[in-house]
Amino acid sequence: MALRVSDIRRVRYGTFTRPRAETGTEHPRVEVVLGYAVQHPEGLILFDTGIGAADAETDAWYEPSRVPLSQALAGAGLGVEDVDLVVNCHLHFDHCGGNPLVGATPILAQRRELAVARAGDYTFTELVDHPGSNYQPLDGEAEPLPGVHVIPTPGHVDGHQSLVVATSDGTVVLAGQSHDTASAWSADALAARAPELGHAPPLPDAPVWMDRLLELDPRRVVFAHDAAVWEP
Ligand SMILES: [Zn+2]
């Protein structure tokens, strides 16, 4: 039986404040951290695992308010033991924080992202590898389960990836942090189509992969740091 949109559940991992230096405004911004659980007939996929332990400097900078993985999953009616596959959009500490808690459950990340994360000065390396960790590095696109596609969406970081899920209600894109907000996605979706909409140069540039995602005709796009949802 095909997936429904309702088989994709939001997982709330908490919030942090993005300081003024990063918002480009006079004010800090409170941002949510969201993951998504996909109840596929062949297994439960968890897209991102939450805000991990950081150092005092990082905690002072972002002031994270964490919801532990087990509690976040319980909020979606799930347990850590239910997870069959983890996909990380990227390996910054606010996306891979629960990875050390998934044991030998396979984790999908882009090979280039893993290499950068393991090299240091990028994330907290103890959140990336743990005893028995089972990474399955990807080089580009993959279809880990039928109708579920991992698609590279570089920008925020070079090794960023998104998850595209076919459902009986249409394609759902779990964009992660391809864009910080739904409205930023909306702007790029229009920018990608500006020529066909009849607009003349100069035009804004959209990421090159925007065409790849739009050709899949997404009916719903959701994000890691925005509770807002994009619909066409
Ligand atoms: Zn993030």
For ligand 1, the distance from its centroid to the CA atom of residue 15, given in whole angstroms, is 11
For ligand 1, the distance from its centroid to the CA atom of residue 4, given in whole angstroms, is 27
For ligand 1, the distance from its centroid to the CA atom of residue 192, given in whole angstroms, is 24
Mean pLDDT of 5-24: 96
Please say whether the beta carbons of 15 and 67 come within 8 A.
no
Q: Is the pLDDT of residue 61 over 60?
A: yes
Rounded CA separation 38/10 (Å): 9
Q: What's residue 2's pLDDT?
A: 82
For ligand 1, the distance from its centroid to the CA atom of residue 194, given in whole angstroms, is 28
Mean pLDDT of 201-217: 95
Percent share of the chain, pLDDT over 90: 97
- Among residues 99, 86, 97, which one has the least CA distance to residue 144? 86
Q: What's residue 1's pLDDT?
A: 57
Mean pLDDT of 19-43: 96
User: In 88-204, which ranges are E strands?
Assistant: 106-110, 134-138, 142-145, 148-152, 161-167, 170-176
Q: What's residue 213's pLDDT?
A: 97
For ligand 1, the distance from its centroid to the CA atom of residue 201, given in whole angstroms, is 33
Rounded CA separation 10/46 (Å): 10
For ligand 1, the distance from its centroid to the CA atom of residue 199, given in whole angstroms, is 33
Q: What's residue 60's pLDDT?
A: 97
Note the pLDDT tens digit of each residue in 101-157. Answer: 999 999 999 999 999 999 988 999 999 999 999 999 999 999 999 999 999 999 999
Mean pLDDT of the chain: 96
Mean pLDDT of 83-99: 98
For ligand 1, the distance from its centroid to the CA atom of residue 10, given in whole angstroms, is 16
Q: What's residue 217's pLDDT?
A: 96
For ligand 1, the distance from its centroid to the CA atom of residue 177, given in whole angstroms, is 6
For ligand 1, the distance from its centroid to the CA atom of residue 191, given in whole angstroms, is 24
Return the higher-pLDDT residue of 24 and 160: 160
Rounded CA separation 183/188 (Å): 9
For ligand 1, the distance from its centroid to the CA atom of residue 41, given in whole angstroms, is 29
Please give the order of strands across the beta sheet that includes 142-145.
142-145, 148-152, 161-167, 170-176, 218-223
